[in-house]
Amino acid sequence: MRRRDFITLLGGAAAAWPVASRAEQSKLRTIGFMGASGSAAISGWVSAFVQRLTELGWADGRNLTVEYRWAEGRFERLAGFAEEFVQKKVDIIVAEGTVTTIAAKNATAAIPIVFPIAGDPIGNKLVNSLARPGGNVTGLSIQATDLASKRLELFREILPDLNLLAVVANVSSPNSALEIGELRSSAPALGIDARIFEIRTAEDIALAFEALKGNAQALYVPPDPLVFSHRRDINTLALGQRLPTMFAYRDYVQAGGLVSYGPNLPHLFRRAAEFVDKILRGARPADIPVEQPTKFDLVFNLMTAKEVGVEVPPTLLARADEVIE
């Protein structure tokens, strides 16, 4: 059951927005799109991005070319992608996520870089400030560290007796490292012992679940491209131990997680397309403030709740944006 309509994906783009000027339409521009995960994993987000570009007058193959590179969770590939785009002299690099943006920024100080999502742009030194980014990088923050304590509070509402929480996190991800710090500072105030189980590769996931077996009442997974690509595996392992799970995005809950709370990512990717449009029309990244999310989703999977023996309070269900039944 859906409580709020989600953004329509690629296709059927509206013609209500102004199209690019005739001069802009006649010049073929190139976007280099760097993905830390895989194309299938974030196809919905990319579709939202492309649709918004189309609405703004940029048509792939007519006045725009988008070249995609996918790391499939192998972060070591990102630097090579960035260097390739620099050599190709693309007009803009769109970098999906924090680690991808860091790779792009390390490769160029001249080509504009737009990030649709980043955990902590200031803490990760992507920009000088949100209001005045400076340099060649701008985009949209997902407030990762700010939301960690809110997710813990929601978990406590769902599980009033929660005191032992496993956190499976990719510690090679800058975003996850920052979120772990927030969890460690927020958990004690709620009477929660948050135990960190580190992963760095896909092979580490099963090992982490072996290590946490019998040592947790619930599971918290900070978002990053590696765990996102393996979200179904993570949920299968969690269900095998009857662990309620907390995630950042609805995609994890759709894949079998219990609950998620965080920004609506298709909306952020649509906004990123508007940043790209401004830059293609002459704006400088240094002058475009980094935006924080305005649209957040609370999503529950009641099928999963039944499997792990959790009854979600009616007060929380009434606040939900989507309930999967």
Spans of all domains in the chain: 22-142+264-295, 144-262+297-324
Residue 17's pLDDT is 37
Residue 60's pLDDT is 82
Profile the chain (325 residues) by mean pLDDT over runs of 10 residues: 39 40 66 92 93 94 94 91 98 95 97 93 91 95 81 96 96 87 93 96 96 95 90 96 96 96 94 98 96 93 97 96 95
Exposure string of 15-40, with b = 16+ CB inside 10 Å and e = fewer, is: eeeeebeeebeeeebebbbbbbbeee
Residue 74's pLDDT is 86
22-142+264-295 and 144-262+297-324 share one fold: yes
* Residue whose pair of structure tokens reads 């005191």 in the numeric block: 163
Burial status of residue 49 (CB atoms within 10 A of its CB: 0-12, 13-18, 19 or more): buried
**Domain 144-262+297-324 coded CATH 3.40.50.2300:** yes
Residue 123's pLDDT is 83
Residue 145's pLDDT is 64
Residue 324's pLDDT is 96
Residue 279's pLDDT is 97
Residue 155's pLDDT is 96
Question: How far apart are alpha carbons 246 and 314 in whole angstroms?
Answer: 18
- Taking the alpha carbons at both ends of the chain, their separation in whole angstroms is 6
Give the helix ranges, DSSP H, for the chain.
Answer: 22-26, 43-55, 78-88, 98-107, 144-158, 174-186, 203-212, 225-229, 231-240, 250-254, 265-280, 302-308, 314-319
Query: What are the backbone dihedrals phi and psi of residue 170, each rounded to the nearest 5 degrees, phi first?
Result: -80, 100
Residue 177's pLDDT is 85
**Domain 22-142+264-295 coded CATH 3.40.50.10860:** no
